[in-house]
């Protein structure tokens, strides 16, 4: 009998565990109990809050590797993102409750750094011969790639197939560059009236960062999701033309 097909990882669970939950944990747990009017048991301070938040994508990434023997890119991104947020908070927060100057620029730069690096990595991957779109979007957990590539070979459409992946990869990179610019702009906007020397500035800082994360999902995440859907539609349309296969033949059943 053929080996059982490994269970596919749900993309929503991936995003929740590696991005959303660590961000919420960092925001809720990182409050300094010494600065709270009514400290709660879960107010464990910025250092331990960051450690707990980092442990979530790290633990999930280890579990995923043990289960699938594959490296989880989203866990790595979540780990780096949480670590950056926590380390910047530790650097900016003063012991007297104030915050160092230019907090908005620091936060915006940290939020823009990951999509910027990803965009550059995607462009570089094009030269390496293994476009990263094949890791994030056009992969064997979504598309039936062996069937697609057999059909491409049978119809001698290798050149068109390569061009389709190249153009989709470039559009994918542009979506991350757009995200980087929008993250920086949003941070500067939210911190425009922030008073670093005010009493309780650290609490205000945490509130702004928390608001940014939810606003970022609406103002940045939804448009980028639209771009990803557009790339997916582009891939499906191009692959149908190149292979003669239908949608349900191109995509794996879920």
Q: pLDDT tens, 206-226?
A: 778 877 877 776 777 778 888
d(CA 254, CA 176): 27
Q: What is the pLDDT of residue 201?
A: 84
HSE-up of residue 76 (Cα within 13 Å, Cβ side) = 9
- The mean per-residue pLDDT over the stretch 88-96 comes to 84
- 145 burial (CB, 10 Å; 0-12 / 13-18 / 19+) is middle
Q: H or E segment at 200?
A: none
Reported as a pLDDT band with limits 50, 70 and 90, residue 2 is very low
Residues 208, 141 share a domain: yes
Q: Where is the domain boundary, 92, 126, 154?
A: 92
**Which residues constitute the domain of residue 193?**
102-254
Q: Is 3 helix (H, G, I), strand (E, B) or coil?
A: coil
Check whether 7 has a pLDDT greater than 60. no
* Number of CB atoms found within 10 A of residue 171's CB: 16
Residues 188, 140 share a domain: yes
**Bridge partners, 99 (sequence order):** 93
Residues 241, 223 share a domain: yes
* Within a domain: 31: yes
Q: Where is the domain boundary, 57, 92, 127?
A: 92
d(CA 128, CA 138): 17
Angle between helices 158-190 and 145-154 (to 10 degrees): 140
* Within a domain: 1: no
């Amino acid at each position: 009998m053929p080996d059982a097909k490994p269970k596919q990882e749900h993309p929503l669970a991936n995003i929740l565990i590696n991005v959303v939950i660590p961000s919420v944990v960092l925001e809720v747990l990182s409050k300094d109990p010494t600065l709270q009017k009514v400290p709660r048991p879960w107010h464990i301070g910025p250092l331990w809050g960051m450690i707990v938040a980092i442990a979530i994508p790290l633990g999930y990434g280890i579990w995923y590797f043990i289960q699938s023997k594959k490296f989880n890119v989203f866990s790595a991104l979540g780990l780096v993102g949480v670590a950056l947020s926590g380390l910047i908070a530790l650097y900016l927060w003063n012991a007297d409750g104030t915050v160092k100057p230019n907090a908005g620029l620091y936060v915006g730069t940290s939020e823009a750094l990951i999509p910027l690096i990803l965009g550059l990595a995607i462009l570089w991957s094009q030269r390496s011969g293994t476009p990263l779109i094949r890791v994030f979007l056009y992969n064997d957990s979504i598309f039936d790639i062996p069937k697609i590539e057999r059909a491409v070979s049978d119809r001698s459409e290798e050149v068109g197939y390569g061009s389709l992946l190249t153009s989709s990869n470039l559009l994918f990179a542009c979506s991350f560059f757009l995200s980087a610019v929008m993250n920086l702009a949003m941070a500067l906007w939210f911190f425009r009236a922030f008073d670093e020397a005010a009493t309780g500035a650290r609490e205000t800082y945490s509130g702004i960062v928390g608001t940014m994360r939810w606003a970022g999902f609406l103002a940045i995440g939804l448009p980028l999701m639209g771009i990803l859907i557009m790339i997916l539609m582009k891939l499906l349309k191009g692959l149908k033309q190149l292979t003669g296969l239908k949608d349900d033949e191109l995509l794996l059943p879920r």
